Amino acid sequence: MTHLDSLKQHSIVVADTGDIESIARLKPQDATTNPSLLLKSAQDARYRPLLDGALAQAKAAGEDVSGAIDRLFVAFGCEILKHVPGRVSTEVDPRLSFDTEASIAKARHLIALYEAAGISRSRVLIKLATTWEGVRAAEKLERDGIHCNLTLLFGMAQAIACADAGVTLISPFVGRIYDWYCAQQKVADIPLEQDPGVASVTRIYDYYKQHGYHTEVMGASFRKVGQVEALAGCDLLTIAPDLLDQMAALPGELERRLDPTRTTPAERVTLDERAYRWLHNEDAMAVEKLADGIRRFDVDARKLDAFVAGLMR
């Protein structure tokens, strides 16, 4: 028994990578991708056949760079699904984060590409940034049987809005919360028992379980093994390959830390748009990290655009 084996007894383990060889080796249940991960993988010579295939399909269909990138996301997703028994998360362009209808249209297009490739929509999670507009897009998509993963989630207002909208899954970012508080406190590290990222996910998990929400909680963006292990029992945990390897090398069993039968009581809150925006605005960390996350994904999305455009020329 290793720490990774033990963790799999308490939580669904998801690989946070676009590296298909790592996914095949580590054998997670699910996998997640985003523009940053795809940019890295698209530039890897091992995956050039996937890239060439996506570009050829786009050219044959008379599509532009955007169409080619959609096909590239789906090509990687289809390949990843050969190595995981569960689902793959595919992200909507971060530049659509404040446009509900455009996000819905992009999500439906991605699902249509997956279905044309023979992949059931039940095996795909559409990733959307947790803006108010992203949550509203997810609410409509869920009604159409398109399941969503709301990402770049940092605060309780975002989590409550997602649960009320019936979103399938959320990805609260442990490591980026930790980073923000380290910077604010001007320290290099924060002890696990005081880790604000771990505390945030624990609070969201307890709130969901206490009030009977079906939305799954997937802790994400980890900086160290201890953060992962402190959330053993969370519905899902998406973990980078280097941390998965470290856990696979550690012998022993892990204690379950999150449990639906042991939750901290919290009053149920219902948010309309005005209440959501106020509560979110009260959380400086969540406001700053959501905006920063969208900007970071946009930078890599633009780099991917330029890379693919160069190949198409």
- Which residues are identified as catalytic? 127
The identity of residue 52, as a single letter, is D
Quote the tokens at residue 282. 């009260």
Count CB-CB contacts under 10 A for residue 44. 14
Q: Which residues contact 222 (CB under 8 A, 6 or more apart)?
A: 174, 175, 228, 237, 239, 240, 243
SS3 content of the chain, % helix, strand, coil (to 5): 60, 15, 30
Contact 1, 252 (CB under 8 A): yes
Amino acid sitting at position 310: G
| Among 74, 80, 148, residue whose Cα is nearest residue 116 | 74
Cβ–Cβ < 8 Å for 156, 279 = yes
Query: 15 in helix, strand or coil?
Result: strand
Sign of CA dihedral 65, 92, 28, 224: positive
